[in-house]
Chain A
Amino acid sequence: MNWAAFLSNYIFAFIVLNVMLGLMAYMTYFERKVLAAMQDRVGPKRTGPFGLLQPIADGIKLLAKEDIVPKNADRLVFLVAPLLSFVLAPLSAAVIPFGGTVTVFGQEVNLYVADINVAVLYVLALGGMGVYGIILGGYASANRYSLLGALRSAAQVISYEIVLGLSLVGVFILSGTLSLVQILEAQQQPLSFGGVQVPNWYILSQPLGFVLFLIAAVAETNRAPFDLPEAESELIGGFHTEYSGFRFSFFFLAEYINMIAVSLLAATLFLGGTDGPIADGVWWLAAKAALFLFFYIWLRTTLPRFRYDQLMGLAWKVLLPLALINIALTGLIRLWGLGLL
């Protein structure tokens, strides 16, 4: 690798990281506006035109707040836990392909930070790591509500991680790879059925896998109706009850970045990522991810919250068997297609 290639890759990574952080801030604005519209309210409108400066005002407020550490807290763990969550969250954006390769100033630039051959496993692993921040934060707070939130979170993430992983196996069988770049490429060859061209998006060949992925992803990111670790009506704030100021905002940032990352992943895996009917490009990916983010908010305004035992029952008794059936069916069809059956 020459220096120019290294530098271009570095610059692209820098852009992706900062765009993710900026997007996260405006994700809160988007959520508040959509929630408000669905709840017959106006939402933020005083700070700047259409309230567009609200996320910045929120950020300043959170950073300026006092950093309180409870007296009985495990001090070191309490301080480190939000950092752990926050640092791990944007890393999954590294493997999302934002397009193919373009030439800028005579230099070839890959529109992805890294093309790892186990990209999907890497994303799942990051999700599994991210929960450490929640567990440690909840444990270290020396608060019973936080502890219960952390315990719920541990059980929930483990259960739904399995479903999340298994729901993707169908895609791996069809594409034969775990690299997101190659999965994206595999979806770009249109299928034709008697002259009718259909995009080879995996949502069409893996509808069950897609639904399972969607449900598990919502649970994995601790969002309503699976927001049990922070169920404010029972556990006050759950694992982040005792956090304030910028440490709280780190948990908050991590949650939103995870949402964006999962939306990007879903768009790439099932909806053909940057592929579109006209003018392929990163805007298609953005539009598809925005669709998922809207869906997240829609769920939040509409659905009541699950109970802990119902949540676990759903994962182990319903979603897991369905995921296994999906894998078996996909495998059989694949073998039949290859003429091995």
Chain B
Amino acid sequence: MSLEITEPTPVIISEERQVSDTRRELVLNMGPQHPSTHGVLRVRLTLEGETITGCDPVIGYLHRGVEKLGESKRYAQFVPWTDRTDYVAAPSNNLGYVLTVEKLLGIEAPERAQYWRMIMAELARLASHLVWLGTHALDIGALSMSLYCFREREMILDIFEKFCGARLTTNMMEIGGFSRPIPPDLPDMIRDFLAVFPKRQREYEDMLSANPIWLARTRGVGVIEPDVAINYGLTGACLRGSGVNYDVRKAQPYLFYDRVDFEVPLGTHGDVYDRYLVRMEEMRQSLKIIQQCLDQVPTDGPLKLAESNYVIPPHDTVLTTAEDMQRHFIWVIKGFSPPKGEVYLAIEHSKGELGHYIVSDGSPIPYRLRIRTPDFVNLQSLPYMAEGAMLADVVALIGTIDIVLGSVDR
């Protein structure tokens, strides 16, 4: 028996197409390996000259089945996986998941832990916005911005490292609070950052906000009308850039966002430039929130819920008291069983509304875990914005949506 080997038919990913007698379209395959598709996004573009007549985002190159993994792990075991969805703002993802599980369990972390969660989530927002600004400006050609932004992001990552030992995938939050103590010099590190950052941010704005080339590249590009933004289900700066006032922190306050004073910046034109301005102002508001949290947070007190079967007991009491030792044993061997039911909780992530939906059947692993990531929904608007734009605008549009493919594909 002879084995016949046939050449596989090549998959044609780009071709020229004769639209009519006089018009020909060029199909350009942008990505998944491309310097400015922010990871592994693939966009199939139909071009007429340099004008885009069709745009078709193809996702899934970074799909790891995170939701399905969550349905095979115990509740507490899934927290490290949330880091790996949106890896530029890992603490925010931790927070969204942890808060959802706590809502399901009907427990709440102590006040001090809640404040520190807020501080870390806002720092994560700043870090994420800095990555966005750096890469967005780099895509449009402002080479140095990325290095300046990463310089400031470094300070935030140092704070994370001081707090939990990790910089990118922090695995920082736990169900019921924090296990680790707050390092005594951490508030000073954060205050140093708060003192330095506004000056640096003014430098960014000096370079971009009134730069004629930046204005030409961003104004009137990628306009989304408010009703279109709502119909697409956009959230975050993509929605607020169009002037729709929706911020989960104001609409359904979680943590102590109702105790701090901050404003929600809104755009008017819904173009790339307005979304840039909205995010820049959000960074300023984040600094304000962190400052207020640092002033309000109790300096002493528990960081973790004690004497609850849902929370892993602290290390020192496990070794000294019988109850906690038994609780720890059960927690580690069997995990905890939440009540039956379903729960959805949304938080304001740096990119928009991050929602976790959990269905519990009373067993230690979730029956269904669904993550509504903001950039997955926001990415839908790319074809709408790209229609009729120029080829160079596509990179500006991908940048303005602020996607992280780990979060889009999950």
Contacts and interface: CB of A to CB of B under 8 A. Distances in A.
Nearest to A228: B392
Interface in A229-255: 231-234, 236
Interface in A121-168: 144-145, 148, 152
B326 interface: no
Interface in A11-56: 35, 38-41
B36 A304 contact: no
Most buried by B among A40, A224, A234, A303: A234
Interface string B24-45: 0010110000111000000000
A234 B391 contact: yes
A307 B142 contact: no
B395 A144 contact: no
B147 A40 contact: yes
B409 interface: no
Interface residues of B, number: 32
B296 interface: no
B151 A234 contact: no
A283 interface: no
A205 to B, nearest CB: 28
Given A305-B213, A307-B217, A300 B390 contact: no
Contact of B140 (A152, A233, A301): A233
A170 interface: no
Interface string B353-385: 000000000000000000000000000000000
Contacts of A152: 50
A152 B47 CA distance: 14
Contact of B390 (A224, A232, A236, A308): A308
B7 to A, nearest CB: 14
B148 interface: yes
Contact of A234 (B29, B36, B142): B36
A232 B137 CA distance: 13
A101 interface: no
B142 A304 contact: yes
A233 B216 contact: no
B308 interface: no
Contacts of A231: 141, 392
Interface string A93-108: 0000000000000000
Given A225-B213, A309-B390, A301 B144 contact: yes
Given A148-B391, A307-B390, A233 B144 contact: no
Contact of A307 (B147, B151, B216): B216
Given A41-B147, A144-B28, A232-B35, A304 B391 contact: no
A232 B146 CA distance: 15
A302 interface: yes
B28 to A, nearest CB: 5
Contacts of A38: 144
A286 to B, nearest CB: 27
A307 B392 contact: yes
Most buried by B among A40, A227, A300, A307: A307
A331 to B, nearest CB: 31
Interface in A260-318: 300-310
A301 B143 CA distance: 6
A225 B392 CA distance: 13
A236 B148 contact: no
Nearest to B16: A144
Nearest to B51: A309
B141 A39 contact: no
Nearest to B50: A308
B139 interface: yes
B138 A306 contact: no
Contacts of A39: 143-144, 147-148
B131 to A, nearest CB: 16
B393 interface: yes
Interface in B105-138: 137-138
Contact of A233 (B50, B138, B211, B214): B138
A225 B217 CA distance: 12
Interface string B1-41: 00000000000001000000000001011000011100000
Contact of A144 (B26, B140, B392, B393): B26
Contacts of A236: 34-35
Contacts of A310: 213, 216-217
A318 to B, nearest CB: 11
Contacts of B98: none
B394 interface: yes
A55 B385 CA distance: 43
B82 to A, nearest CB: 30
Given A40-B151, A144-B26, A307-B217, A233 B395 contact: yes
Nearest to B146: A39
Contacts of A309: 50, 390
B207 interface: yes
Interface string A163-187: 0000000000000000000000000
A306 B392 CA distance: 9
B148 A40 contact: yes
Nearest to A310: B216
B141 A303 contact: yes
Contacts of B144: 38-39, 301-302
Contacts of A40: 147-148, 151
A35 to B, nearest CB: 8
A90 to B, nearest CB: 28
Nearest to B221: A307
Nearest to B218: A304
A304 B147 contact: no
A304 B141 contact: yes
Nearest to B207: A302
B139 A233 contact: yes
B143 A300 contact: yes
Nearest to B137: A304
Nearest to B151: A40
Interface of B: 14, 26, 28-29, 34-36, 50, 137-144, 147-148, 151, 207-208, 211, 213-214, 216-217, 390-395
Given A233-B395, A306-B216, A309-B390, 6 more contacts: A148-B391, A233-B141, A304-B208, A304-B214, A307-B393, A309-B50
27 contacts: A39-B147, A40-B148, A144-B26, A144-B28, A148-B28, A148-B391, A152-B50, A225-B213, A231-B392, A232-B35, A233-B139, A233-B395, A234-B36, A234-B391, A234-B394, A300-B143, A303-B141, A304-B140, A304-B217, A305-B140, A305-B392, A307-B217, A307-B393, A308-B391, A308-B392, A310-B216, A310-B217
